[in-house]
Amino acid sequence: MQKAQDGRVLIFDTTLRDGEQSPGATMSHREKLEIAEMLDEMGVDIIEAGFPIASEGDFAAVKAIAEQTRSATICGLSRANFKDIDRAWEAVKPARSPRIHTFIGTSPLHRAIPNLTMDEMAQRIHDTVTHARNLTDNVQWSPMDATRTEWDFLRRTVEIAIKAGATTINIPDTVGYTAPVESADLIRRLIAEVEGAEDVIFATHCHNDLGMATANSLAAVEGGARQVECTINGLGERAGNTALEEIVMALKVRHDILPYDTGVDSRKIMAISRRVATVSGFPVQFNKAIVGKNAFAHESGIHQDGMLKNAETFEIMRPEDVGLSGTSLPMGKHSGRAALRAKLKELGFDVADNQLNDIFVRFKDLADRKKEVFDEDIEALVRAQGAAE
Ligand code: KIV
Ligand code: ZN
């Protein structure tokens, strides 16, 4: 069984399963293998490679990822029935470290779908987790919609899953309904009150319907969760899942109050973010935390001036730590003289103060008409200035 060491949070990436469930985000077999390799190389602990019963293609991709992966545990998802579990096991079995992940919806709304009584569901959980545990000693169990499940029933089902042999208990906030204070309390209470809780790892799996997935995941870690489930760029059903890059960087930048490490090399974040955006066809929004085009860009005069003097004035992390070569100071109507002077120097122009003033006036005039002023525009302004003299 995979155990988290003290102070370590396991990163479980589900870009290839929950991420691929984003409508329209389907990836090809070759692309999935490529993403899995990048995840493995960056130090992700567990890769949920797919849902093997879902299609022949999903099965083949999970199996191929299991065969190629060198370090990470490879996990396959299955519903709570023997056929799904056997199919998942067939796919992940070649992995150096395979895991079966089985789930069932435990909230009243989800119980109504298979029309099971609480006792029937409890029995189903016992039988399916036992079946999975007879195949492997690495079994993850999830009560889907856990955050809208009655406390007594949630506790009862988690206890049954642990007794039947689950080694990781994942608590999904399937519809992004919970709030940080509840997320922490729920994990804390499960750890305190469930019999056998000390023998398993608790995981958190949050969706972003209210924009709280990262906050809820970090709160769950404070409550005692030691596995965070996430996706690259926050890809996933509806508004997506917790973004891997946000968890990794939050734990790095705020280690003072969140003293937990991951095994992820954060310098590989930008490369995989761009690749996932391309293969999924889901571009990253410009102002997305960590990986958005503007996450390390500063346009206003005050900010650019500050950045030129000391990068810490407006940046809480180094762009190099997420795999960028540096900060960007795009030139626009909010830029000031200091940034223009720096830009001219970068372009190889050494101008006197009076020339700078003239160029600055014409630069502002142009910037008022254009969203962004490019290097070529500035070069043209300097040349026009030279011709006018
Ligand atoms: O959001 C969810 O509940 C899930 C489960 C299958 C774990 O993705
Ligand atoms: Zn999910």
Nearby residues for ligand 2 (ion, Cβ within 5 Å): 18
DSSP string, 239-272: T-B-BHHHHHHHHHHTTTTS--B-S--GGGHHHH
388 pLDDT exceeds 80? Answer: no
Q: Express each pLDDT in 18-50 by its tens digit.
A: 999 998 999 999 999 999 999 999 999 999 999
2 pLDDT exceeds 60? Answer: no
| Structural tokens at position 7 | 């102070």
Q: Count the neighbouring beta carbons within 10 Å of the beta carbon of residue 7.
A: 10
CB contact set of 291 (below 8 Å; sequence gap of 6+): 233, 243, 245, 269, 270, 273, 284, 322
pTM value surpassing 0.90: yes
Task: Please name the residue that has the structure tokens 């298979």.
Answer: 114
DSSP β-bridge partners for residue 227: 10, 203
Residue located nearest, by CA, to atom 2 of ligand 1: 174
| Structural tokens at position 201 | 């790892």
- Measure CA of the first residue to CA of the last residue in the chain; give whole Å: 76
Q: Count the neighbouring beta carbons within 10 Å of the beta carbon of residue 146.
A: 25
Using a 6 Å cutoff on CB, does residue 18 contact ligand 1?
A: yes
Using a 6 Å cutoff on CB, does residue 205 contact ligand 1?
A: yes
CB-neighbour burial class of residue 143 (10 A; exposed 0-12, middle 13-18, buried 19+):
buried
DSSP 373: B
34-69 exposure pattern, b = at least 16 Cβ within 10 A, e = fewer: ebbbbbbebbbbbbbbbbbbbeeebbebbbbbbeeb
Residue located nearest, by CA, to atom 1 of ligand 1: 174
Q: Express each pLDDT in 215-260 by its tens digit.
A: 999 999 999 999 999 999 999 999 999 999 999 999 999 999 999 9
Q: Express each pLDDT in 108-138 by its tens digit.
A: 999 999 999 999 999 999 999 999 999 999 9
ipTM above 0.95, yes or no: yes
Phi and psi, residue 11, nearest 5°: -100, 120
Residue ranges for the binding site for Mn(2+)? Answer: 18, 205, 207, 241
Residue 365, CA atoms < 13 Å, CB-side half-sphere? 7
Distance in angstroms (rounded) separating the CA atoms of residues 291 and 331: 20
Residues present in the chain in total: 389
pLDDT category at 98 given cuts 50, 70, 90 is very high
Residue 174 CA to ligand 1 center (angstroms) comes to 6
Which ligand ends up closest to the CA of 237?
2
3-state SS class at 351: coil
Task: Locate the ligand 1 atom nearest the alpha carbon of residue 14 and give its number.
Answer: 8
Distance of CA 384 to the CA centre of its chain: 48
Residue ranges for the binding site? Answer: 18, 205, 207, 241
Task: Please name the residue that has the structure tokens 């206003």.
Answer: 300
